[in-house]
A and B are shown apart, each in its own frame.
Chain A
Amino acid sequence: MKKKNMLKQVKRYWPFYLMALPACVYFFINNYIPMGGLILAFEKYTVSGGIFGSEKVGLNNFKFLFQSSDAWIMTRNTILYNLAFIVFGTIISILVAYLLHELKHEMSRKVYQTVILFPGLLSIIIISYLANALLAGDTGYINMHILAPLGLEPVSFYSEQKWWPFILIFIHFWQMTGSNCILYLANMSAIDPGLYEAANLDGANRFRCFVNITLPCLVPTIVTLTILSVGKIFNSDFGLFYQVPMNSGAIIDVTQTIDTYVYRGLMNTANMGMSAAACFYQSVVGFCLVMITNALVRKFSRENAMF
C-alpha cells in the first residue's frame, strides 16, 4: 500500500523535481563543494594532493596569519568601514528619503530620485575611472583645477594614506545613497497622513513631526536593516577596496580588508595557506554573525527574520 502511494506521489510530482534539479545541482557544485573546500585552511596545498588530499598541517596557517600584523589590520579596516557605512548610511538615507518624501513639486522629486539612483547601476570599475579623473596626480581635476588655481601644492592621493578613509566612505555613499533610501521612502509613504494632520492641529512643527511620527514609524526597518548589515560586517565590497585605490601598495594599511587580503594571498602561491585561513576565518565568523543577528531579528520582528 505504502509503496503504491509513493509511486503515485512520484508520478504526480516528478516534473517539479525535474524543475528544481538544475538549481540543486548548481548549488551543490557552486556552494556546497566549496564549503567542504574550507578544509584548505588546514592544509599545505600542493597541486598533486589537490583540495582534499594535500598534507594536513593543523592550525599552522592560522598561527602564521594571526602572528602577522595583517590579521589585525584587515579585521580592523573591514569592521570600521562597515560601521561607518552602517551608522552614517542610516542617517544619510533617512534624511534624503525624508527630503524626497516632503518635496511638494512632483516633477523635480522624480528627477532627483532618478539621478541619485543612477550611480547604483555603475560598475565599480567605472567608478574607479570617475575617481581617477578627480584624483589622478598629474591630470586629476582636483589637482589641476581646484588646488592649482588656489596656489596649493598638488596632492598625490594614491600614495597618501590619510585621505583614503574619507575617499572610500564618500564613494560608497555616492554610489549607494540613492538605492539605500528607496526602502525608507517606501516606508514613509506608508505612514498614515492622518497622524501628521492631527499633529499639525495640535501645533507640532515639522521637526517635532519628524521626531515623534516619522522616526518611530521607521524604527522596525532601521533595526532590521542594521542587524542584517551587522551580519555582513566581515564582508566588504572587493572592488571598492581593491580597484578604486588602484591596488596601490603605499596606502594598503587603510585599504586592506579581509576580501582584498584573501585575493592577494590567492594570487601569490607562497601565501596560499594564510589566504585560505583568512577565508575560513571570514566564513565562520560571518556565519556566526548571521546566525546571531537572525536570532535577534526573530526576537524583534518575526516576519523580517530570514528563517
Chain B
Amino acid sequence: MVKKDKGFQIMAHAIMICMTVMVIFPVALLIMSSLAPESDIIKYGYSLIPKKIDFTAYQYIFGEGSVFHSYLVTIFVTLAGTAVSVVITTMISYTLTVPGLPGKRLLSFYVLFTMLFSGGLVPSYMMWCNIFHIKNTIWALLIPSLLCSAFHIMITRTYFQNNIPQEILESARMDGMTEFGIFFKIVLPLSVPILATIGFMKALMYWNDWTNSLYYITDKELVGIQALLNNMLTNAQYLAQSMDASMVATDTAAIPSLSLRMAIAVVGMLPMIVLYPFFQKYYMKGLTVGAVKG
C-alpha cells in the first residue's frame, strides 16, 4: 500500500510539473523574445534562448512617450474605476442587508434581474454612443464596466450578513452616529477581506479591459496599455504611425517592432506578476465564493 502510494505521488508530481512547464513556457518565450535583437528574431524566430541579449526594445519603451502615456491611462482608469466601483457596490450591498427596509425585495430583484437578462452589445453600444456621447472620452473606459456584474453585490451582501453583527450597528445608532458614519467608520473597516477580494477582481478587470477601448476609442490620447497592445497585434506599424504625429524626426524603419511588441506585452503583465503573490489569497477567495453563486 505504501509502495503503491509512492508511485502515485511520483505520477502526480510528474503531471503537475508538466502543467507548470506548459504554463511557464509561453510566458518565458515572450519575455526572452522581448530581449532578443530584432534581426535575430527575423532570422531565427522567437526563441527561448536568444543568441544575444539586447535591451533596444525596452529603451524604446522608456524613451518614447506613447507607451508610458498608455500606461498612465491604464493606471488612472484602474485606480479610479476600482475605487468608485467598490464604494458603489458596498453601499448597495449594505442597503440590501438593512433589516426591515421597506422595498428591499423589490430592490434585490432590480439588482438580480441585471444578471439574468441583458440587452447585449448592440443596444448598449448605440445608447452610449448616441444618447450619452461617451465615444472618445475617458468615461468610455470607466463607465460601461463600472458594476460589471451584480454578482459582486451578491457576495458582498452575503459577507455583510454573516460578518457584521447588528448589535454593534444598533449601539452606534444609540450613540448618535449617522448612518453614513456607521457605514464608513464601522461596516467598511470590519469588511477588509471582502473589500480586498472584490477590489482585486475589479482592478484586474479594469487592468485587462480592452473591449471598451475597441468599441469606443479612436483617440490615441486615450489608448490604454491593453488597447495599445491590441492595436499593435493587428497592425505592427501602429506605434510607428502614432509616433509620426508626435515625433517627426524619428526614423520609423529602425523601430524593432517584433521585439518591441513582446516588450510592451511584458510591461503590460508585469504589475500582475508583481502584485499576484500579495493578492493570491483574495483571488482564490473570489473564485470559491464566486463559482457557485454566480
Contacts and interface: CB of A to CB of B under 8 A. Distances in A.
Are A and B bound to each other? yes
Contact of A279 (B8, B16, B120, B234): B120
Counting chain B CB atoms within 10 Å of each CB, the highest count among A9, A133, A179, A263 belongs to: A133
B193 interface: no
B127 A33 contact: yes
A306 interface: yes
Contacts of B67: none
A9 B147 contact: no
A20 B101 CA distance: 12
A111 B20 contact: yes
A240 interface: no
B98 interface: yes
A183 B288 contact: yes
B45 A138 contact: yes
A257 interface: no
A125 B230 contact: yes
Contact of B47 (A144, A180, A239): A144
A290 interface: yes
A221 B290 CA distance: 13
B112 interface: yes
A304 B15 CA distance: 33
Nearest to A35: B119
A305 B200 CA distance: 26
A96 to B, nearest CB: 7
Given A35-B117, A51-B130, A145-B45, A247 B234 contact: yes
A256 interface: no
Contacts of A287: 116-117
Nearest to A34: B119
A1 interface: no
Nearest to B92: A23
Given A27-B111, A116-B23, A126-B265, A34 B280 contact: no
Contacts of A282: 120
A122 interface: yes
| Candidate in A26, A50, A280, A282 with the most chain B CB atoms within 10 angstroms | A26
Contacts of A140: 45-46
B244 to A, nearest CB: 24
A34 B48 CA distance: 48
Contact of A37 (B5, B17, B126): B126
Nearest to B123: A37
Contacts of A30: 124, 143-144, 146-147
A112 interface: yes
A50 B16 CA distance: 55
B126 A51 contact: yes
Contacts of B20: 111-112, 115-116
Interface stretch (A65-73, A100-108, A211-219): A100-108
A108 B17 CA distance: 10
Contacts of A169: none
B71 interface: no
Contact of A141 (B16, B42, B46, B284): B46
Given A20-B91, A183-B288, A262-B121, A34 B29 contact: no
A266 to B, nearest CB: 6
A172 to B, nearest CB: 14
A138 B26 CA distance: 17
A143 B27 CA distance: 18
Interface stretch (A10-18, A78-86, A159-167, A191-199): A10-18
Nearest to A127: B26
A136 B46 contact: yes
A133 B95 contact: no
Nearest to A98: B12
A291 interface: yes
Contact of B262 (A9, A115, A131, A133): A133
A121 B102 contact: no
Nearest to A22: B88
Interface stretch (B57-65, B75-83, B203-211): B203-211
Q: Lowest 9 A-B CB distances belong to which pairs?
A: A37-B123, A34-B119, A144-B45, A123-B208, A15-B179, A23-B92, A34-B123, A19-B91, A130-B26
11 contacts: A13-B102, A24-B92, A32-B114, A34-B127, A40-B122, A123-B226, A124-B210, A126-B229, A140-B45, A180-B291, A287-B117
Interface of A: 9, 13, 15-17, 19-20, 22-24, 26-27, 29-38, 40-41, 45, 47, 50-51, 96, 99-100, 102-105, 108, 111-112, 114-126, 128-134, 136, 138-141, 143-145, 174, 177-180, 182-183, 186, 200, 205-206, 221, 224-225, 228, 238-239, 243, 246-247, 259, 262-263, 266, 272, 275-276, 279-280, 282-283, 286-287, 290-291, 304, 306-307
